[in-house]
Amino acid sequence: MPAPAVAQVSPAATPTYTIGELAREFDLTTRAIRFYEDCGLLSPQRSGRNRVYTARDRTRLKLTLRGKRLGLTLAEVKELVDMYESPRDTQPQLKKFLVVLAAHRAQLEQQMADLNVTLDEVRAHEKEAKRLLADRP
């Protein structure tokens, strides 16, 4: 009796993306994506002259944009993203992230305080200008 045929399971194809697809998805220019590549944040494969981005690149781009929204520099984003890709314990990574976030929070709080002082000055000048106008016949 012949052996039963065994179905071969092929590994699931991992999704890939073109630079245009990522640009549309994240509302970026292709130039911005190439800039992130030059900074070492993305490392697409090549198929001839075309860039082929993997799910890893897509995730790194997403984290890069999140870091930018938080006010991180691209160097800080790269350091943090690279740390998260290492197989080491996550505790040092989280501690570094907290240090970076605390520094940015302090900077934003200082900017907020400076803006409040400036707003108070603008309000005082507005009040004085209105008073001077009201005193004129």
Beta bridge partners of 47: 50
More confident residue, 98 or 137: 98
Q: What is the pLDDT of residue 29?
A: 96
Query: Is domain 13-70 in CATH 1.10.1660.10, yes or no?
Result: yes
Q: What is the pLDDT of residue 79?
A: 86
Q: What is the pLDDT of residue 8?
A: 40
- pLDDT beyond 90 at 7: no
Quick: pLDDT tens for 88-99.
667 777 888 888
* Residue carrying the six token digits 């993305």: 42
Q: Mean pLDDT over residues 30-56, rounded? A: 94
What pTM was estimated for this model as a whole? 0.68
Average pLDDT, the chain: 86
- Nearest partner of 76 among 59, 93, 90, 57, judged by Cα: 93
Work out whether the CA dihedral 16, 21, 25, 28 comes out positive or negative: positive
Q: What is the pLDDT of residue 128?
A: 95
